[in-house]
Amino acid sequence: MIPLLPFVSFGVAVALREGVPYALEAIRGALSSLVRIWRWLPASLGRALQQGRLLWGGAYLILVAVVASPFVTSTAYTIGQVSGSFSTAIDPFLIDPQDARAVGA
């Protein structure tokens, strides 16, 4: 698995580079449709939305949340494992540190 990790990271990088503009446009279009259909905002603010400033900001926030959530979840899980007890399959076969100190003394 470890030798394939660079290919996975390159694949994710290309997917983000090529997919982010498409995803932003799709999210912005969906937000624009929601605002237009549900008539959430007053007319003066609606004009600003049609210009796209707030829609692009909302699209960026949604995309950052979608892209960042797997990384944040994975990082939190790994930190929890390392700070607690990081167990591996070889743990039952390892030498107890107290026994090693007793032999060395």
Q: Domain for residue 15, yes or no? A: yes
Range of the domain at 52: 2-85
Averaged pLDDT, 35-41: 74
Q: Domain for residue 12, yes or no? A: yes
Q: Domain for residue 103, yes or no? A: no
Q: How far is CA 81 from the centre of its chain?
A: 19
Task: Tell me what pLDDT residue 29 has.
Answer: 87
Q: How many other CB atoms are there within 10 angstroms of residue 27's CB atom?
A: 19
User: Looking at the predicted structure, is the pLDDT value of residue 89 above 70?
Assistant: yes
Q: Domain for residue 46, yes or no? A: yes
Q: Domain for residue 37, yes or no? A: yes
Q: Domain for residue 96, yes or no? A: no
Long-range contacts of 15-22 (CB under 8 A, 24+ apart): 16/67, 20/63, 20/67
Q: Whole-angstrom Cα distance, residue 27 to residue 49?
A: 14
Q: Domain for residue 104, yes or no? A: no
Averaged pLDDT, 6-15: 86
Name the domain count of the chain.
1
SS3 (DSSP) at 74: helix
For the entire predicted model, the pTM comes to 0.58
Task: Tell me what pLDDT residue 11 has.
Answer: 86
Tens-place pLDDT, residues 46-85:
666 666 777 788 888 998 898 888 888 988 888 887 777 7
